[in-house]
Amino acid sequence: MNRFVLFLAAAFALLTGSVPAQTPALIPLNIMASPLDLNGPVFYAQDLGIFKKYGLDVHIQMTFAGVEQASTAIIAGTADIGSANTATLAQAHLRGIDFRYFAAGGIFTDKVRPTEVVAVLKSSPIHTAADLNGKTLSPGQLRSMLQCATTAWADKHGGDGKSLKFVEIPFPQMDTALEQHRIDAAVFTEPFATAASADTRVIGSAEEGVAPTFMVLGWYATGSWLNAHADTAARFIAAVREASAWGNTHHQESAAIISRYSKIPQDTVDQMARAVYGLTLDPKLIQPPIDVAARYGFIDRAFPAADIIWTPPTQK
């Protein structure tokens, strides 16, 4: 009798078209990102279920190896999306590599406490940009926007940017390099600036030499991937925008997430300067670093910021 009732119910559902709707499968998406506060929104979106809300099954590959590793993975197709500074994307663009920004990332503004700083040991005799002339620094990755910005900062504050010697050291290892006197100054980003603060002294805001406000990092992919996956890109944009808005106003909660991914203790993250996240791509915030990168020879020439921004097919 029960089987017969079930059979009738199933038959009725087929005849009336009332078969329960299937839940759409989540779209897989591979992201490469360092667990830095500037990249916070992708970690917030993952932890808070925002990616799933927008139909995305996101896998975050964490790396401190620099933008080059992410770019290689994106070109090879083992990653879809990464975050990059403007100098790196500009260099790729001028070499004919079609990387495009499509979602805003961390924003520098001189209105808040800086998240990228030039720091020395507390016992160091270096106190000013001029004191750094001829000295050795690490900006993390060589030929990066952070190196370019530090050079501009030195010139702006009485130093000689061209005299600075830069070496590549991953952010987590910079404090050790300072203690061992392998470098004279470190260009830290958060949360590593605060983690090293017990032994270091900040002498400047590294990004200040570029402009009062500009985009530090943005999310990018190849133009061909974006055109072929416009719907996925739109979902990512919406998810990151929501996570960015949340991160801008929930510092205590977001600090716990950054701590979990970066392995930096919670009390350290609670003390650090927090990133400001952009909600939309604005060419006016991307043009200043392009111009500064050209001025200091990090790229061959300046060009309109719009050239490295992806426009969805429906908006062309």
Residue 1 is predicted with a pLDDT of 45
Confidence (pLDDT) at 314: 74
81 secondary structure, DSSP code: E
| Tokens encoding 139 | 């900006």
Domain at 27-109+214-315, CATH from 3.40.50.10540, 3.40.630.30, 3.40.190.10, 3.40.50.300: 3.40.190.10
**Fold of the domain built from segment(s) 116-211:** D-Maltodextrin-Binding Protein; domain 2 (3.40.190)
Task: Return the DSSP state at 144.
Answer: S
Kindly give the residue spans of alpha helices, DSSP state H, lying in the chain: 2-16, 40-47, 50-53, 67-76, 86-94, 145-156, 174-179, 192-195, 223-228, 230-249, 251-262, 266-271, 283-295
- The reported pTM is 0.85
Beta strand 185-189 with 116-121: parallel, antiparallel or unpaired?
antiparallel
Tens-digit pLDDT profile for the chain (316 aa)?
Answer: 445 444 434 444 444 454 455 567 999 999 999 888 999 999 999 999 999 999 999 999 987 655 667 788 898 889 999 999 998 899 999 999 999 999 999 999 999 999 999 999 999 999 999 999 999 999 998 888 899 999 999 999 999 999 999 999 988 899 999 999 999 999 998 888 888 888 999 999 999 999 999 999 999 999 999 999 999 999 999 999 999 999 999 999 999 999 999 888 888 889 999 999 999 999 999 999 999 999 999 999 999 999 999 988 876 6
Query: How many other β-carbons are positioned within 10 Å of the β-carbon of residue 159?
Result: 22
pLDDT given for residue 32 in this prediction:
93
User: What is the per-residue pLDDT for 63?
Assistant: 78
DSSP result, 10-24 = HHHHHHHT-PPPPPP
Residue 306 sits at φ, ψ, to 5 deg, of -60, -20
Structure tokens, 203: 């002498």
Instruction: Give yes or no on whether 27-109+214-315 and 116-211 have one common fold.
Output: yes
Q: Where are the domains of the chain?
A: 27-109+214-315, 116-211
pLDDT of the residue at 240: 98
